[in-house]
Structure 1
């Protein structure tokens, strides 16, 4: 009997590949069925906030930003052998309520806010995305860096895993974890046979996200303290550092255990 699929729940249209692309390439290379389900992939309707317009400019995108990012994501996940699935929730930069835009600066994305209603809605949408075949495991980000969309995704997937007694695996968010000490958030999950070839597949896949690389590594990257960085060098340096702790990319089993 074939192994049940793995559902990988990514906050944005790049996070899973940036963080664990080599691991996913190794899994699909061994015949595992992997779906990368991106939560905040909904297409917003104009008008956009000044912050969203600034984001589009930094990324080299226009008003069709999300459509173009969908295209990038499909190309990237194809390289690592995974299927892509896009949920309709709006990225934080497009969300608003009766009082206006919820987030109007990069700093605001990392403030300690929460939204229990949205967490429940995300959990239900991911559950619905299972279709008729329940996954063997749910994987998502540990929310290193505290981006609001990462926290919401982690909390929703954790809620779902606990409700249905599913194995929960958390990954280390890249590039937030770059240059940081290894911070375990559960029991280590070894993924055997992740080779340099799989790491190269990851590099090839990450290169398919030019809009996000422009934002993360471009000249106007003030949120990263103006550091001059090359994404390939940072990714490879991080992988080499983490290899000393067990693998190119670190994952942890955060499944709730009965007392």
Structure 2
């Protein structure tokens, strides 16, 4: 059975950006694994890190990342994928103290890409995937940027589909494309998808829907506006992906 490994910065990125393709791969007999890098619980968050959970209606004592990991398990079940949660800390727990800082250049003292590369390498050894999927870091979120840097360090020869980061692709306030020059050498391809499974998976991230889309109805509208389309840059010779019957 061929195996597809999605390297997701956060608990929702793979589903939001490539969930339709991942679901279709699973339906067509692939083993699909979604490995999310930044999922660690950090006890007693404060400042901006605490605000990132309380502004979503969660009390300070809640284990925000445990809730998000459970959402991810439900989302992956909807996709037919197996979730893996790697214990790296999200940017607000690494000294990024505002929303603006999350979308600026990575801090010079932030070595999270080294930790991410060290986590990805044994996954590749263990799983021996046939295909990687990963973000382009459109929008410039620091965790997405450092995920790409980690994959550059790993320098895997595997075929890779670099997904367009949704919903940042739809937003005028996050226009950055820090790897545009690197990725321009790879052809764009429209991925075959399962839009219904993607919608079900995205809806599982209940803590994020209000913040990202204004609620469940907003999610439905945002997905409908894409027409079910997912676009990636194809590096290497990816195995043929067939469309749904």
Q: TM-score, normalised by structure 1?
A: 0.79
2:81 matches 1:82: yes
Query: Are the counterparts in 1 of residues 203 and 219 from structure 2 also a CA contact under 8 Å?
Result: no
Conserved 8 A contact 2:6-2:132: yes
Q: Measure how far apart 1:157 and its partner are.
A: 1.7
Correspondence for 2:224 among 236, 240, 247: 236
2:63 aligned with 1:59, yes or no? no
Query: Alpha carbon RMSD of aligned pairs, Å?
Result: 2.4
Distance 1:148 1:212 in 2: 18
Q: Deviations over 1:83-136 (max 9, x none)?
A: 0000000011112xxxxxx11110010111256742122112112123533111
Which residue of 81, 101, 107 maps to 1:108? 101
User: For residue 187 of structure 1, what is the aligned residue in structure 2?
Assistant: 187
TM-aligned CA distance change 1:112 to 1:255, over 3 Å: farther
The Cα of 1:152 is off from its aligned counterpart by 0.5
- Could you tell me which of 14, 27, 30 is aligned with 2:28? 30
| Mean Cα deviation higher: 113-122 or 204-213 | 113-122
SS in 1 for 2:55: helix
Q: Residue 138 of structure 1 contacts residue 157 of structure 1 at CA under 8 Å; is this kept in 2?
A: no
What CA deviation, in whole Å up to 9, does each residue of 1:55-105 have, x standing for no partner?
Answer: 11222223310000000000001101000000000011112xxxxxx1111
| Structure 2 residue runs without a partner (length 5+) | 238-245
Q: How many residues align?
A: 225
Residue number in structure 1 paired with 2:240: none
SS in 2 for 1:7: strand
What does residue 137 of structure 1 align with? 131
What's the secondary structure of 1:52's corresponding residue? helix
Instruction: Name the CA distance, whole Å, in 1 between partners of 2:127 and 2:53.
Output: 37
Counterparts of 2:58 and 2:84 in 1: how far apart (Å)? 22
> Aligned with 2:152: secondary structure?
helix
TM-score (norm 2): 0.84
Is the CA contact 2:190–2:230 (under 8 Å) kept in the aligned structure 1? Answer: no
Counterpart selection for 1:157 from 143, 151, 155: 151
Corresponding residue to 2:162 among 164, 170, 173: 170
Q: How does 1:217-256 map to 2 (within 5 A)?
A: 217-218=213-214, 230-237=218-225, 239-240=226-227, 248-255=229-236
1:148 aligns with 2:122: no
**Counterpart of 1:224?**
none
